[in-house]
Each structure stands twice: as C-alpha cells, then as structure tokens.
Structure 1
Amino acid sequence: MRGRAEGAQEGAGRLLRLWGWVRRWAGPLGVLGGLGAYAVLAPMGWAYADTARYRYSVEGVPETPVALVLGAGVWSGQPSPLLARRLDLAVDLYRRGKVKVVLVSGDNRFRGYDEPTVMRAYLVGKGVPESKIVRDFAGLETWDSCTRARRIFGVTKLTVVTQDFHLPRAVALCRAAGIETWGVGDDSMGGSRTQATVRGYVREPLAMLKAMRSLTLRPDPALLGRKEPGVEQALASP
C-alpha cells in the first residue's frame, strides 16, 4: 500500500509540474502562434482586398488584347482538370470578343513534358485559330509568366485566367510586372476538380507568402531570353 501511495504522489507531482510549465509558456506560445498565423494570412488578405476591383466574371471583364492562361499540369498528354477549366474560360473570352489573342504560359523544362503545346492543341480543338495562340515555354511559376508576358512578349494589357483561389495572387503579380491586368477565375468545384481545388485553397496562403518576394524585389524570371514578336504578330494576323 505504501508503494502505491508513493507512486500516486509522484504521478501527481509530475502532473503539477507539467501544469506549471503549460501555464508558464501558454502566453508566449500563444503570441508566437498568433504572429505566425498573421504572417501567413496577412498577405492573402491584402491580395484579396487590393485586387478586388480587377477580378471579374467572363461576362463583365473589360476587353483586353490578350488572355494569359497559366499552366496547371498535363496528364498523359492532356490538360489536367484544372487547366482544362482555365482553357475553357479562355475559349469563352475569345468567342465573346473579350480578347483577341491567347498567350499560354507553362513548363517545358523536361523532355516529353510540354504544357504550352498541349494547351494550344486543346484551344485549337475548341475552335480558337492557331494563329491567335502564342506559346510561352518558360512560365515556370506565376511571376515568371507575368514578367515574361511584359518583358519578352511586350504585353501591356491583359486578362489573366486561372482558378478563383489563385486569381488574387495572379492579378497582383501581373500588375506588379507592369501590366494593366484584369482577372477571370473559375471556382472548379465539382467532379474530379474538387480535391485539387481544395488543395489549392490550402496551399495558397504559403504561395502568397512566397509571392511577396516577387512583389517586393521584382526579380528576373528563371529564364529570360530575347524578346519575341509572337503576340504582336498574332494581333496583326487576320
């Protein structure tokens, strides 16, 4: 009995010490947690507020010369479900006369993986003339696509096309690149797109935090290169 009593007292002592530690550090840890959450979420709040007046529906967006469609993955030679929705929006914009040229920007770093060419083929299959589609093979991330549209292709005014969760960041980055930018997004909820869309919303605060570097420093894209006349030629073509 005595051994059990001593064990119980020892256990109670440990609990009291643990409780004391929790009370001692709960305040500082709570403050640090709050600061961390603010640091992650504040850029998102700013982007949503700052770009609100530039985000539209397909029906309401102002006319611009160019639609910039950002890459979002290719599966077995076909656009991913999210990318297909972006391309469908671009087709709708073109048919409505909201844009004259579609600039498709994506990844082509690896042999056998060519987002822009797959994107072009999809648009052509939907009735967009090939002469009105321009490929950017070095759109490795959103900032690269935006700044290359300005510096390589000479675009000064465009409509960026992506998902709703990505749209505030995309509009903010393209405007920071010196382009008069409006944005059109798709909610992409339903069917095979739902899971990817939910993941997009989850990762977007961290992606926006990373984007603050580009918004602040305006770095060169990963691949720059010489100027290309593709957009100008597409606008001039009949």
Structure 2
Amino acid sequence: MPLKIAGLLGMVLFGVAGLSVLIYWWPAVSRYDTSPMPADQKQAALVLGAALWDERPSPALRERLEMAVKLYEQKKVRYLVLSGGPEGNGVTEAQVMKEYLISRGVPAASLILEDRSRNTEENLRFSKRILDEHHWDEVYLVTHDYHQYRALQYAARNGIHAVPVPVHSQVLWMPYHKARECLALVKLTLFSR
C-alpha cells in the first residue's frame, strides 16, 4: 500500500509541477497573439524555418513564408534572410523556403540563406553573422506568435535587435504548441548559456 500512495503522490506532484509551468509561461507564449502588421520599413526580415513535408514547406512553414511575402510586397523589407538547416535527407529548409518564395514572385536577389541551423537557438546564432556582414542593426523577426517570445530571447542573447512579426496560425492546434513552447522556455531558462 505505501508504494501505491508514493506513486500517486508522485503523479500528483508531477501534475502540479506541469500545471505550474503552464501558468508561469503561458502569458509569455501568448504575448504576441494579437500583434498587428508592422508599419515601419526595415532592410530585412529574418524568417525562421519550420518542418518540411516531402521536401516542401509544411502548412506551418507556408504561413511564415506568406507573411514574408506580405512584408516584401508591401515594401516593408528589401531582403529576406531564410534560416533553416538540413533535414534527414540533406535538403535544407532555407533552400525549400527560397524556392517557395521565388514561386511567389520574390526575386532570388532578395533572398539570403542561412542553411546550417537545426533549432531556434542556432537560427539566431548563425543568422547573426549574416546580419553583421550586411550591417543590418535591426530586422523583423518572422515566426509564429507562440514562438516569438523564445525566438526574441535568443535574438537578444546573440545581439540581434529584432522587431516581432508574429504569424497567427490557421493550421496549428495552439493549445498543444503553446504547452510545448512553455516546456521549451523551461529548457531555455535552465540549460542555455
């Protein structure tokens, strides 16, 4: 009997800890839920990658790319830095993003690839070099609204002054992605340099 009580107590404590994480971080991952399209012009936007499906942009990545198209078409930016490295088959997210944007009318000369990163932290760290090479002090940061807070934390840690351009998803189930992002913020807080 004491073993059952200990197991039950462990599950309750685990549940309380999980709920505490959600309560603490949920406002951060929801901060950009209603942000409007920016009004100012910048030289560039940094577009963070997402998953590829059969060497094509996933629905979520297409949402980010469509926001990049809007920024470009509305002359908010002249350049798009596309950040995303190789997946299992060697195709990079950045290359697939480039092909998609060219098909949507963005000229190749306006697209700059960062094609080594494997996660959000590397997206920002590796993109910093590109931004420095072009002397871009401030850029727009294009990613989903729930992901903006953590991406901006990594941007700041890498000396990037980024202005959020949150993408509001029509294809992602937000409770799942926000809960997952809360856990990623715990990892960022506890284990990142």
TM-score bracket, normalised by the shorter chain, equals 0.7 to 0.9
Point out where structure 2 has 5 or more consecutive residues left out of the alignment. none
Matched, 1:144 2:126: no
The equivalent residue for 1:168 is: 149
Deviations 1:95-117 (A, max 9, x none): 11211110111121544422111
Structure 1 counterpart of 2:187:
210
The 5 A counterparts of 1:13-162 are 33-35=15-17, 37-39=19-21, 41-45=23-27, 47-48=28-29, 56-58=35-37, 60-108=38-86, 110-154=88-132, 155-162=136-143
State the superposition RMSD in angstroms.
3.0
State the Cα distance separating 1:57 from its structure 2 match.
2.1
Distance 1:161 1:31, change over 3 A: same
- Measure how far apart 1:152 and its partner are: 4.5
The aligned amino acid for 2:36 is: S
- More divergent stretch after superposition (72-81 vs 86-95): 72-81
Percent of matched pairs sharing the same residue: 27
8 A Cα contact 2:29 2:145, kept in partner? no
Distance 1:113 1:99, change over 3 A: same
CA distance 1:147–1:111, change in 2 (3 Å) = same
TM-score by length of 2: 0.80
5+ residue gaps, structure 1, are 1-16, 218-238
Cα distance in 2 for partners of 1:128, 1:63 equals 17
Aligned residues: 188
Q: What amino acid sits opposite 1:125 in the alignment?
A: S
Flag the structure with larger Rg. 1
Distance 2:148 2:40 in 1: 16
